[in-house]
Amino acid sequence: MNDLNAKIQKFAQLILDANNIVVLTGAGMSTESGIADFRSPGTGLWEKVNPDEFASIHSYVSDTKKNLDFMLEMGLNIFKARPNKGHKMLTKLQRFGKLKGILTQNIDGLHQKSHSKNIVELHGTAHEAICMACNQIYPITTMINQVMKGENRPSCEACNGLLKPNAIFFGEPLRSEILSQADDMINSCDLLIVLGSSLLVYPVAFYPRKALSLGAKIAIINIQETDVDSFAEVVIHEKIGDVFPLIVEIVEGEINQNN
């Protein structure tokens, strides 16, 4: 058995042995759906734009028009994207009863489109807009329609406050109720699977170590190395779509055999 096959077998066995699995997903989960991540060499968004000028709450308020152009381009790409093999495999694992929930840093809604359940969106969603003054939530189309009509300052119908996508920008705090849902998931899991995250953004960067300190095992699929690799039971540096279906196939085979 070669090294990769052995890792795939080991990954599947960890899933079969666990009773409370949580999956943590990052932007690498959605690159195979055509949505660029931030940090992949050559294709990551941060090689094209400066994060200080875009996607920070300060830059959005001070230069709304420039940020809207960038967001519209990214948003339209997100809205047309479809779930990929990785998303579908997670939905399948959940149907087998092998997956408690998904903690995602993604704002693209692809886990929902793939019909997964119990999803915590740490960084909010690109599918909604929120009023910065009164917190009223709108479908994102409300904001897009205004921008498409040439409005440089999309505004709330109720109070005329500035609308922004309901995703967390740099410089904004994460919502406390979302953080406590994430904590509950991390505190109770016995296997934490990380798919497609550089694990550089907090609080996610902290979750594997926290889960580990509470006795959980860690398994990772990510093309690039991460700081957590050395703590994990198994690490596979390949594309999710190339290896995760093979892992789920082994799990499915074992489950069917035992039923």
Ligand X SMILES: NC(=O)c1ccc[n+]([C@@H]2O[C@H](COP(=O)([O-])OP(=O)(O)OC[C@H]3O[C@@H](n4cnc5c(N)ncnc54)[C@H](O)[C@@H]3O)[C@@H](O)[C@H]2O)c1
- Catalytic annotation present for 111: no
Instruction: Give the span between the Cα atoms of 128 and 254, in whole angstroms.
Output: 40
How far apart are CB 148 and Zn ion at their closest, in Å?
20
Binders of ligand X in range 33-92 (CB under 6 A): 35, 37-40, 44
Q: Which residue has the tokens 């807009």?
A: 129
Give the dihedral of Cα atoms 20, 25, 29, 30; nearest 10 deg: 130
- Active-site position among 115, 123, 127, 237: 123
Nearer to Zn ion, 44 or 161 (CB): 161
b/e per residue 158-188 (b: at least 16 CB within 10 A):
eeeeebbbbbbbeeeeeeeebeebbeebbee
Instruction: Give the span between the Cα atoms of 174 and 7, in whole angstroms.
Output: 35
The two tokens of residue 168 are 């967390």
DSSP reduced 3-state for 145: helix
Instruction: Give the span between the Cα atoms of 76 and 66, in whole angstroms.
Output: 16
How far apart are CB 15 and ligand X at their closest, in Å?
17
Nearer to ligand X, 27 or 247 (CB): 27
Q: Are strands 101-104 and 119-121 parallel, antiparallel or unpaired?
A: parallel
Quick note: the x/- pattern for ligand X over 189-208, rule CB under 6 A, is -------xxx-xx-------
32 binds ligand X (CB under 6 A): yes
When binding is defined by CB under 5 A, the residue of 76, 148, 159, 200 that contacts Zn ion is: 159
Of 1-9, 14-22, 132-140, 217-225, the window that binds ligand X (rule: CB under 6 A) is 217-225
How far apart are CB 38 and ligand X at their closest, in Å?
3
When binding is defined by CB under 6 A, the residue of 18, 22, 30, 193 that contacts ligand X is: 30
26 binds ligand X (CB under 6 A): yes
Contact 195, 26 (CB under 8 A): yes
Choose the one of Zn ion, ligand X, none that binds residue 112, judging by a C-beta under 5 to 8 angstroms depending on kind.
none
The length of the chain, given as a count of residues: 259
Instruction: Give the span between the Cα atoms of 128 and 139, in whole angstroms.
Output: 5
158 binds Zn ion (CB under 5 A): yes
How far apart are CB 174 and ligand X at their closest, in Å?
10
Contacting positions for Zn ion (CB under 5 A): 131, 133-134, 136, 156, 158-159, 161
Catalytic positions, written as ranges: 123
Contacting positions for ligand X (CB under 6 A): 26-28, 30-32, 35, 37-40, 44, 105-108, 123, 196-198, 200-201, 221-224, 239-240
